[in-house]
Structure 1
Amino acid sequence: MNVFKEVADIQTADMLQLPVPKAYFHNVSVPPSEFQRDMVADLARRAEQVRAKQVEPHEDNMLTITNDGRKLALDQRLANAMLPDDEGSKVSACADNILSAMGRQSGAAARAVGLLRPIYSEAGRNL
């Protein structure tokens, strides 16, 4: 790292002293869709098969199952792209919250609709 510092101009946030907006956090709980309930049962079945060594690690493993569960929890379309958009999904709730916050700041939710940016998830897809 010291060699890198000799050739790179590194500026930390403390050095730049840029204004940082205050973040507001809140948790929103959304009920699972019927597909998500079925898929969670399938994830449990797959996990039992892995624990019982009924499948080879290259066929299925806990890391893959966990990743599939994370995708499913975010939006059912990440588990199966052929599924419809669920109005009660976490992504929809997030978009509603963003729209609501932008509407409060600008005074008109209708103007905020055009300002919404794509939401990128850790799952690597543009939702």
Structure 2
Amino acid sequence: MESWLSGEEAHVIKGLELGKSYTLFEDTAPLGYELAQSFSFILNEDGSPTHIVMINELTPEPEVPLCPELPTPEIPEPETPEPVEPLPEQPLPEPEVPKTGEGTRTQTLLLSVAAGLVLTVFLRARRKIKDRKTSME
């Protein structure tokens, strides 16, 4: 395998076998040129010179329009929001506050009367039991 950079001068490859097939290819094209197609050839059996000419083709320049036409963007119409009806104001529920101190006089009075009655009943029952014991003696 042999590699070289092409220039103005022809390149000669020596030492190839006659009647044998060879492939010539370009792995990198010069700047501004297209990569050439690879091709195969067979050396003449009689030893006469084989001339191969590779012509590099210029890379075509892309066609650039002088005044490119830009698409006109579509401007969407803004959506009008539907009017929102305000909700009627609802009164806030009053929090339930524990009632402290209400009815304490009444409760205290009733509790005192009940305790007095229980004490009276207890003391009378005790006195009756004591009187019976003394009268039995």
* Common topology (TM > 0.5): no
Normalized against structure 2, the TM-score is what? 0.16
Larger helix percent: 1
The structure having more radius of gyration, on CA atoms, is 2
RCO greater where, 1 or 2, for CA within 8 Å and sep 6 or more?
1
Normalized against structure 1, the TM-score is what? 0.17
Larger strand percent: 2
